[in-house]
Amino acid sequence: MDYKYNSAMKGEKERLIRQSDGYYEFDMSAINQVTDTFDRTVCVLDLGCSDGRLTFSRFASEKIKKVIGIDYNERDIEEANEIAATYGDKFKFYRLDIESVDFISRLKKIFVENGIEKVDIVFSALVLHHLRAPEKLLKNLHEVFSRDGKIIIRGSDDGGKLCYPKTELLEDILRKYEKAITVSDRSNGRKLYTRLFDSEYRNIRILYAITDTCGKDLSQREHFFDVGFGFRLNTIDALIRSDPQNEQLKKEREWFERALSELRRAFCEPDFWYCNTSYIAIAEVE
């Protein structure tokens, strides 16, 4: 099935903004831990930077000397570079397919263009689960790290989503979605440690952020639903557009529309509880 995740998907840009805002403190806890280990200003590579909003918000400090952002979406890169101009030469963004066979060689040329030999930190948020061969990327990245380089990866995992009541509904949605959306690894969070270890990274640590609906008002509950589930029907629509003869997927879409509507209504009920666990892995180059 010819489908690749694209932030231009209907409603995705707005969802990513809300998601980025929600993860700010979690990301910064990891980024600060890593930057504090360096006694120099550092260069950063942000893989899957989208339109740069997250990149600017996370890496504007004086401790960061240079940031290179990479994304597949050309329009996002154009938007990011427009904003980057206000920061001088600190931020540069490039359209590049992370999974292309010449990714590392083209990346090295970008480094030369920007006066960089290696990068000290590679940051990537919610990207690995969209890749066909994440381990290959992790191994190839060794070529671009400084000798004491470190990697920061934020992942997600549908297995970290819990609720009550409507437990069975949530489980059905997650199970059917994972079966339908074979182009995205919905259990990637639990695999971060092993993938990094097998890709020859060491001193791996996993940070956790648990958020729930306790004490949240209606708008905050709706936000929880939109970030965790609002994209799923749009993703199925994108799959149908890439495979319009798939009648089974069309039938499943009808089910998902009903099930997601029911789950959204549940989120709005004051007695409904939901929590989600997110993951950040920090590791060193061996």
Mean pLDDT of 160-182: 94
Q: Please classify residue 149 by burial: count the beta carbons closer than 10 Å to its beta carbon, then call 0-12 exposed, 13-18 middle and 19+ buried.
A: buried
Instruction: Quote the pLDDT of residue 250.
Output: 93
Domain regions of the chain by residue span: 12-285
> What pLDDT shows up at residue 1?
45
Task: Kindly report whether the peptide bond that precedes residue 134 is cis, defined as omega within 30 degrees of 0.
Answer: no
Own/partner pairs, 215-220, CB within 8 angstroms, 24+ separation: 218/268
> What is the average pLDDT across 148-164?
96
Statement: residue 13 has pLDDT above 90 = no
Mean of the per-residue pLDDT values for the chain?
93
Average pLDDT of span 262-282: 97
Q: Report residue 10's pLDDT band, with 50, 70 and 90 as the boundaries.
A: low
Give residue-wise pLDDT tens across range 101-122: 999 999 999 999 999 999 999 9
The C-alpha atoms of residue 12 and residue 256 are separated, in whole angstroms, by 18
Work out the pLDDT band at 258, boundaries 50, 70, 90.
Answer: very high
Share of the chain above pLDDT 90, in %: 85
Domain 12-285 falls in which CATH fold? Rossmann fold (3.40.50)
79, pLDDT greater than 60: yes
d(CA 109, CA 150): 21
Rounded mean pLDDT, 84-105: 96
What is the reported pLDDT for 63? 95
% of the chain residues with pLDDT over 70: 94
d(CA 241, CA 155): 27
Residue 9 has pLDDT above 70, yes or no: no
- Flag whether pLDDT at 55 surpasses 50: yes
Higher pLDDT, 17 or 144: 144
